[in-house]
Amino acid sequence: MSSADTILLALAVPLAGAVAIAAAHRAPNLREGVTLVTAAGLFLLVVTLLPHVIAGERPALTLLQVMPGLELKFEVEPLGMLFALIASGLWIVNSLYSIGYMRGNKEAHQTRFYVCFAVALASAIGIAFAGNLLTLFIFYEALSLVTYPLVTHHGTPEAVRGGRVYLGILIGTSIALLLVAIIWTWQLAGTIDFIPGGILGAEVPNATVGVLLVLYVFGVGKAAVMPVHRWLPAAMVAPTPVSALLHAVAVVKAGVFSVLKIVVYVFGVDAIADMTSVDWLPFMAGFTIIAASIVALRSDNLKRRLAYSTVSQLSYVVLAAALLTPLSVIGAALHIAAHAFGKITLFFAAGAIYTAAHKTEVSQLDGIGRRMPWTMGAFAVGALSMIGLPPAAGFVSKWYILQGAMATDQWNAVAVVVASTLLNAGYFLPIVYRAFFVAPSDDGHHAHGEAPFTMVAALTLTAAGTVALFFFPDVPLALARQLAGG
């Protein structure tokens, strides 16, 4: 099978899976079996492309020509390869988790949930493999639309309000800002293909580059750079597996992936390194990192704390991209992977706590680690990664980001990383301390144990993956170095 065929199948398999899931709606075991088989099939297809990309090849596929020079096309480059591996791999684990969560909480509309999830993964693969800005935009919009039913899954007034904010911000920013930036880029460069070194040549004025960067960074609302971040906490009304999809598997990763890909392949790291009009981005990213960390520190609701932690952690990727050094670009790519594994573990743990103990607030978690040791042990691993401590993957990505900042004497960025690391410790370590070292409160819920087996298995796997990425970062590191031109 050719690489082009593999790309086409990677897009088609989750869509075919969605149809098969819908057809199996009367047989829950079959429906969920189809989900797992589809997820595994997609991952295997993505993995078959990895050796080609590692070897320096760029598998490509052109589906159709919209007009001369404007095509719906796909090309697998190192960053897209990394994103596709993360999204397809974590879909398997998330599906395993979802089975326990959706059944354990007797959720309605389970078939719709699995169908939308599969289409969301097809959209994520389309984003990962996009060969130009048009293809990226089409699948970016598709991902926003297909995740709306997931955000509003419960159908309550609160869920509908959250969904309205979610879709309003994401679609509003993409049409008003991102689409304008893409059309402007087409006019300036005569192409919107992703090309190493960038397509906006040195003849583009400094001020124009600055305005374009503003349009791209805030037009990619999924990256959640303040002030276009409110969709993310608003979406916390969704079931926890959806939160995991939003924060770890597809949606926010599509955001920071897009920002990093645009900086590398549209602007060009070297081409804009000396332009003063881009100097605002590290400060905006730094502000988002610190401000979101402070909100997380003050939040008692566990999912809200994790949501603002995500807003903060995403801007590590934006900050690293904005430093415009090879080391920081490597750090940005690695942090996409590290955050995916660490944050999905944290959300899995939050959902397990809700399912087994019906607790949603940090202040309710006294002693829960004694009754749910697997869940809270995994939570502790995820927390270590978010803080950036070994032996967790977050340490590796922060190390490269700090090296990139120090190599170019960008001490403001160093100060932001150090301060946010302390803030991360401030809002994660008390949860772990409460869980294991504070006596349980007398709340009538002493009898509960762990959540359903599939949920515990999933969060254990992602916690193990977080540690494995620390000890064996070879594949993401090889892809990140190719991206940075190293």
CA 88 from chain center: how many Å?
A: 12
Using DSSP, state whether 403 is helix, strand or coil. Answer: helix
The alpha carbon torsion through 95, 101, 106, 109 (nearest 10 deg) reads: -30
Task: Give me the percent of the chain exceeding a pLDDT of 70.
Answer: 98
Residues 393-437: tens digit of each pLDDT = 999 999 999 999 998 889 999 999 999 999 999 999 999 999 999
Q: What's the whole-number mean pLDDT along residues 278-289?
A: 92
What confidence tens digit (pLDDT) does each residue in 77-113 have?
A: 999 999 999 999 999 998 998 888 888 777 778 888 8
Residue 368 predicted with pLDDT over 70: yes
Average pLDDT over residues 31-53: 95
What pTM did the predictor assign?
Answer: 0.93
At 259 the pLDDT is: 92
Q: pLDDT by residue (tens digit) across 322-346?
A: 898 899 999 999 999 999 999 999 9
Tokens of 275: 């332009």
Contact between 449 and 290 under an 8 Å Cβ cutoff? The reply is no
Strands (DSSP E) contained in 324-444 are none
Burial 226-238 (b: 16+ CB within 10 A, else e): bebbbbbbbbbbb
Residue 395: HSE in the Cβ half-sphere, 13 Å Cα cutoff = 14
pLDDT for 131-166, tens place per residue?
999 999 999 999 999 988 888 877 788 888 988 998
Nearest of 389, 290, 287 to residue 342 by alpha carbon: 389
Average pLDDT of every residue of the chain: 90
Taking 80 as the threshold, does the pLDDT of residue 442 lie above it? Answer: no
Q: Are 251 and 143 in contact (CB under 8 A)?
A: yes
Does residue 260 surpass a pLDDT of 60?
Answer: yes
Question: Whose CA is closest to 428, among 384, 365, 366?
Answer: 384
Q: Tokens 């502000």, residue?
A: 287
Measured in whole angstroms, the distance separating CA 245 from the mean position of its chain's CA atoms is: 8
Contact 257, 84 (CB under 8 A): no
Mean pLDDT across 25-53? 94
* Residue positions counted in the chain: 486
Joined together, the tokens standing for residue 13 give: 């398999």
Q: Report pLDDT digits (tens) over 176-224.
A: 999 999 999 999 988 999 999 889 877 788 889 999 999 999 999 998 8
Which pLDDT score, from 0 to 100, does residue 247 have? Answer: 64
Q: How many Cα atoms within 13 Å fall on the side-chain side of residue 280?
A: 11
